[in-house]
Amino acid sequence: MLREFDDKPALPLWLCAAAALAMMVHLYLIFVWVPTEKMGIVQRLFYFHVPAATAQFTACFVGGIAAILYLVKHDNRYDDLSLAANETVLIFGAVNVGMGMLWAKPIWGIWWTWDPRLTTSFLLLFLYAAYLVLRPAAPVEHRGMVCAVLCILGMADVPLVYMSNRLFRTQHPSPVLGGGPNSGLEPKMLFTLFFGMFTMMLLWWCILLVRRRVARLERASEDLTRRAHELEDLRSY
């Protein structure tokens, strides 16, 4: 059973090399190539903050859709994918919120304020932290359903996070892209932002593949442990 997991590497070499190269280029673009905005050097956190949010939101939908497919098809591969994606929500969400706080302090004068965007972002992290706590605690036969409910709530929160500064008055400024006639970025800034999104998605893909492999191995280990216990029970009779 374990042999199938070892036939191919969890992370293809070309993908690892592409992610490493893209990250180096991204760092060069941020700290050398792109011009400094009027906010000052702290604005360069923007090129980590927004790409991390992009990866986080993508992970929410991948994990949620995989959880729903698991409920429909009862295929453990979807459950493994959902677990891997949902864990990355917390990873990239922490980068997103952390970079936002570092940016907020010199600009707003405060690390955190409970405006609609920050509140919905906190709720998103809370939901996925609850997912990781409840998953091992839930009975195996009900684990998929419990996790799927949390995933659906997480997916529902993503549009609220994204639209919060359009629907409500927030500490955040109006959207940089698609926010009206005065929105937009200088071409070098726009290129750096999009390249950052590409880089962060490559990094997310690498983490997802490795974590999915670990989830499969964990499932196989649990299955072998269960069978060993069953054999011990049979021998005891």
3-state secondary structure at position 129: helix
pLDDT at 26: 95
Give the model confidence (pLDDT) of 189-228 as tens digits: 899 999 999 999 999 999 999 999 988 887 777 777 777 7
Fold of 12-172+186-236: Four Helix Bundle (Hemerythrin (Met), subunit A) (1.20.120)
Of the pLDDT bands very low, low, confident and very high (cuts 50, 70, 90), residue 59 is: very high
Q: Would you say 30 and 221 are in contact if contact means Cβ atoms under 8 Å apart? A: no
Domain edges within the chain:
12-172+186-236
Q: How confident is the model at residue 165 (pLDDT cuts 50, 70, 90)?
A: confident
Average the pLDDT over 128-140 and give the result.
84
Query: Within a 10 A sphere around the Cβ of 147, how many other Cβ atoms?
Result: 25
Rounded CA separation 85/67 (Å): 10
What does the pLDDT read at residue 6? 55
Nearest-angstrom CA–CA distance, 225 and 88:
27
Most confident option among 54-58, 157-161, 231-235: 54-58
Residue type, 123: L
The band of 28, judged by pLDDT with boundaries at 50, 70 and 90, is very high
CB atoms within 10 A of CB 32: 7
User: How many other C-beta atoms can be found within 10 angstroms of the C-beta atom of residue 145?
Assistant: 12
Kindly report the number of other CB atoms within 10 A of residue 60's CB atom: 26
Please give the model's pTM, rounded to 2 decimal places: 0.87
Asked whether residue 42 carries a pLDDT value surpassing 50, the answer given is yes
pLDDT tens readout for residues 77-88:
898 899 999 999
Question: Is the confidence at residue 140, as pLDDT, over 60?
Answer: yes
